[in-house]
Amino acid sequence: MRVGVLTGGGDCPGLNAVIRAAVRKGVQQYHYEFTGFKDGWRGLLTGAAVPLGIPAVRGILPRGGTMLGSSRTNPFKERDGVRRIRENLGRSEVDALIAIGGEDTLGVAARLWEQYGIPCVGVPKTIDNDLSATDYTFGFDTAVGIATEAIDRLHTTAESHMRVLVVEVMGRHAGWIALHSGLAGGANVILIPEQRFDLDEVCGWVTSRFRASYAPIVVVAEGAMPQDGDLVLKDAAAALDSFGHVRLSGVGEWLAKEIERRTGKEARTTVLGHVQRGGTPSAFDRWLATRFGLHAIDAVRDGDYGVMVALRGTDVVRVPLAEATARLKTVPLERYEEVKVFFG
């Protein structure tokens, strides 16, 4: 038995831990052999493969990123994608695939199994924690930890100058990182994509915080949007487009500017950006990723394909890949309401 492994999509702390655990258990307990495909599905299309054994995965547990490289290549958008995958699987004598990735990567795995019978097991990966079939994805805890540490640091600057500090964190469609890091960092306002925010209300919280003689921290997910504010944001984006810096023309910048204008208080923005997804995984993420790896290879051994490993409470279970990618797990409004007691 030879098992192929690939990592797709944006990098995420814990990917190496999954690879290591699957290889370690597969080789040692089941006497499998392993092939790593480089840069996600691209490696399967081009045949870029490396042998994976226990020596190759030693020492990678604490390392961020992925030793196999990653890409966003989608074989269904490539000419002859499935045929080339079949060929390369055949050439490498790979009998089953472990695909570690987010919605897109897992979607491909689901379709390869369902429509073409290519035996795939999925391992969910997203910094954003927005996959619905699992309590948590690895990488999320690390991202929240880094954001929380940044917020801790920003408090003292805010207090010293009695300024508003707006912190833009990751989360295009789901506000989990903003919610958890904002809560843990003692933010005074948290804004998430799931609920459009009212700028007057935000300014009210800011002002109320200053009245208590403290300076406010506003944590905003990159995908958060003002009520009726589309036009404004679009204008902003357009202005920046002429220079091409769309990436930084984020809601954080816009918000700081608006808060300044409306409250008369100085405001500054920090966009945490890529530091949230790099570097050594937290202990929690190493533990979760390792267990995912161990359970993924068990699914392979059981011939249980078309499934994804998932965390439920403290157990790792298997769920159909289709279910996993069916819908985004967003922050429930009652969970968001719960933390509003800390606003202002």
Using CB under 8 A as the binding rule, the residues of this chain from 98 to 127 that contact its own copies are none
Per-residue string for binding with its own copies, 270-289, x by CB under 8 A? xxxxxx-xxxx-xxx-xx--
Give catalytic status of residue 198 as yes or no.
Answer: no
Is 278 annotated in some ligand binding site? no
Binds its own copies (CB under 8 A): choice among 135, 201, 262, 320:
135
Closer to its own copies by Cβ: residue 53 or 117: 53
Pairing type for strands 33-37 and 49-52 reads antiparallel
Is 270 annotated in some ligand binding site? no
Burial class (CB in 10 A: 0-12, 13-18, 19+), 261: exposed
Taking CB under 8 A as the binding criterion, the range among 77-85, 116-124, 191-199, 269-277 that sits at the site for its own copies is: 269-277
Residue 273 beta carbon to its own copies: minimum distance, rounded to whole angstroms: 4
Per-residue string for binding with its own copies, 141-170, x by CB under 8 A? x--xxxxxxx-xxxxxx-xxxx--x-----
Q: Which of residues 19-38 bind its own copies (CB under 8 A)?
A: 24-25, 28-29
Per-residue string for binding with its own copies, 198-237, x by CB under 8 A? --------------x-x---------------------x-
Closer to its own copies by Cβ: residue 35 or 276: 276
Catalytic one of 11, 80, 104, 128: 128
Is 20 annotated in some ligand binding site? no
Is 28 annotated in some ligand binding site? no
CA distance 328 to 318: 18
Q: Which of residues 56-85 bind its own copies (CB under 8 A)?
A: 58-59, 61-66, 69-71
Closer to its own copies by Cβ: residue 35 or 148: 148
Residue 278 beta carbon to its own copies: minimum distance, rounded to whole angstroms: 4
Residue 75 beta carbon to its own copies: minimum distance, rounded to whole angstroms: 19
Is 308 annotated in some ligand binding site? no
CA distance 329 to 174: 7
CA distance 144 to 336: 16
Closer to its own copies by Cβ: residue 110 or 168: 168
CA distance 89 to 109: 14
CA distance 323 to 307: 9
Residue 196 beta carbon to its own copies: minimum distance, rounded to whole angstroms: 22
Residue 251 beta carbon to its own copies: minimum distance, rounded to whole angstroms: 12
Residue 54 beta carbon to its own copies: minimum distance, rounded to whole angstroms: 8
Residue positions counted in the chain: 344
Residue ranges for the known binding site for Mg(2+) are 103
Give the active site residues.
Answer: 128
Residue ranges for the known binding site for substrate are 126-128, 163, 170-172, 222, 268, 274-277
Residue ranges for the known binding site are 10, 103, 126-128, 163, 170-172, 222, 268, 274-277
